[in-house]
Amino acid sequence: MFVLHPQLEADTLPLMNLKVSTVLLMNDCRFPWIILVPQLENIREITDIPEELSATFYEEMKSVVKIVQSTFTAEKINIGALGNKVPQFHFHIIARFSTDEAWPNAVWGHGIRKVYDDSQAQEIIQQIQQKLKERFHM
Amino acid sequence: MFVLHPQLEADTLPLMNLKVSTVLLMNDCRFPWIILVPQLENIREITDIPEELSATFYEEMKSVVKIVQSTFTAEKINIGALGNKVPQFHFHIIARFSTDEAWPNAVWGHGIRKVYDDSQAQEIIQQIQQKLKERFHM
């Protein structure tokens, strides 16, 4: 049974469950930042996703990249999966701007997370949920 | 016409050209680190790879992840594409160890690159080329 890692649960706000991934908003208002977690047990690397679900994960990932680009008018998208600290496989999709506080460096490990205020979070969540619904016909 | 970005050319050693990607070894002996660059003009994001080549890129990426895992007996693989400094799309696949000098942080921006000596580079290049040839029947 899939259970979201407690660190991911603590750091994020839920957006939607797709066929393979649960889509999470990193609760850090410094960077528009989505995390995809395959809803499967014991996935540590991208190559652990079973072959029959791997292409769907890739399509979900690319769709979320496009949604993040269009929602935030990102100058650059950063994508990646590290898992050095949280072993459950999770894939980052981050909108970057030459004006953001970590630019041009990676966001991982940069400074202190700053949570959204409620209304700001709700606005972003609704925007992204709407685009996910349109994209995935849900 | 595809031309490798001069920064990538300066920082890497060539390994092999696959159908979509040219495979490069980051010339940094601190971390076993492969870079895939789609041999296409004007690709900045993963979503810029044309639909008809995108699945092949993904298969190449996953194959190289497996090769890096098995060649270096990696504890963890870090993958990602940033492009905040070098705009030509390039995808990182890095073998990580709890004993490496950046662990558990990301390698990007960590310390100073340390080049391989020639014999060490040749050994790694031959090992990886052999596995790429086997995998891709070249």
In order, the DSSP letters of B65-96 are: HHHHHHHHT-SEEEEEE--SSS-S--EEEEEE
Contact B108 A109 (CB under 8 A): no
Residue-level pLDDT at B137 = 86
* Whether residue B104 has a cis bond before it, omega within 30° of 0: yes
Amino acid identity of A108?
W
**Cα-based distances in Å from B31 to A104, B4, B84, B95, B96:** 21, 22, 21, 7, 7
Question: pLDDT tens digits, residue range A12-37?
Answer: 999 999 999 999 999 999 999 999 99
Distance, CA of B115 to CA of B120 (rounded, Å): 10
**Chain position carrying tokens 């929602």:** A71
Instruction: Report the residue of chain A nearest B80, measured CA to CA.
Output: A80
Distance, CA of A114 to CA of A28 (rounded, Å): 5
- Please tell me which of the candidates A55, A65, A80 has its beta carbon nearest to residue B79: A80
Residue-level pLDDT at A104 = 97
pTM above 0.95, yes or no: yes
Contact A62 B46 (CB under 8 A): yes
Question: What is the DSSP code (8-state) at residue A48?
Answer: G
Query: From chain B, which residues contact A within 8 Å (Cβ)?
Result: 44-47, 54-55, 58, 61-62, 65-66, 69, 76-85, 92, 96, 103-106, 108-109
**A115 has pLDDT over 90:** yes
Length of chain A: 138
Residue-level pLDDT at A137 = 86
**Chain position carrying tokens 């504890």:** B75
Selected residue of B45, B51, B54, B75 to mutate for chain A interface (largest A Cβ count, 10 A): B45
Distance, CA of B26 to CA of B125 (rounded, Å): 11
Question: pLDDT tens digits, residue range B96-124?
Answer: 999 999 999 999 999 999 999 999 999 99
Question: pLDDT tens digits, residue range A26-80?
Answer: 999 999 999 999 999 999 999 999 999 999 999 999 999 999 999 999 999 999 9
Distance, CA of A22 to CA of B75 (rounded, Å): 25
Helix A51-72 × helix B51-72 angle, to 10°? 120
Residue A33's φ and ψ, nearest 5 degrees, are -150, 115
